[in-house]
Structure 1
Amino acid sequence: MARQLFGQFLDQEIDRDTLIGRLQEMELQLQADADDESEDDNLDTRTLRIRVFGGDTLGMSIREIGQDLEDLTHPNAQILLRGIAFGLAEDELEVHFE
Structure 2
Amino acid sequence: MTKQDRYTLTVRQTFSAYLDGIIDNEELIVKLREIEMQIMSDYDTEEEEYVADKGLWIRFFSGDTEGLTINEIEKDLQNRDHPNYKILKHGIAIGLADDELEVHYS
- TM-score above 0.5, yes or no: yes
State yes or no: 1:24 paired with 2:36: no
Contact 1:31 1:44 in 2 (8 A): no
CA offsets 1:29-56 (integer angstroms, 9 cap, x no match): 11111012116xx424421110111100
* Residue ranges of structure 1 left out of the alignment (5+ in a row): none
If asked which structure has higher relative contact order (CA below 8 Å, sep 6+), I would say 2
Q: Distance between the aligned counterparts of 1:23 and 1:14, measured in 2?
A: 12
* Residue ranges of structure 2 left out of the alignment (5+ in a row): 1-9
What TM-score do you get using the length of structure 2 for normalisation?
0.85
Corresponding position of 1:76: 84
CA offsets 1:3-53 (integer angstroms, 9 cap, x no match): 0011110111100010000100110111111012116xx424421110111
Q: Distance between the aligned counterparts of 1:72 and 1:25, measured in 2?
A: 24
Q: Which residues in structure 2 correspond to 1:31-42 (within 5 Å)?
A: 31-38=40-47, 42=49
Identity over aligned pairs, percent: 49
Corresponding position of 1:5: 14
What TM-score do you get using the length of structure 1 for normalisation?
0.91
Counterpart of 2:34, as a letter, is E
4+ aligned runs moved over 2 Å, structure 1:
42-46
Corresponding position of 1:15: 24
Question: Number of aligned pairs?
Answer: 96
Any idea what SS the aligned residue of 1:50 has? strand
Of the structure 1 ranges 1-10 and 44-53, higher mean CA displacement relative to structure 2 is found in: 44-53
Contact 1:35 1:44 in 2 (8 A): no
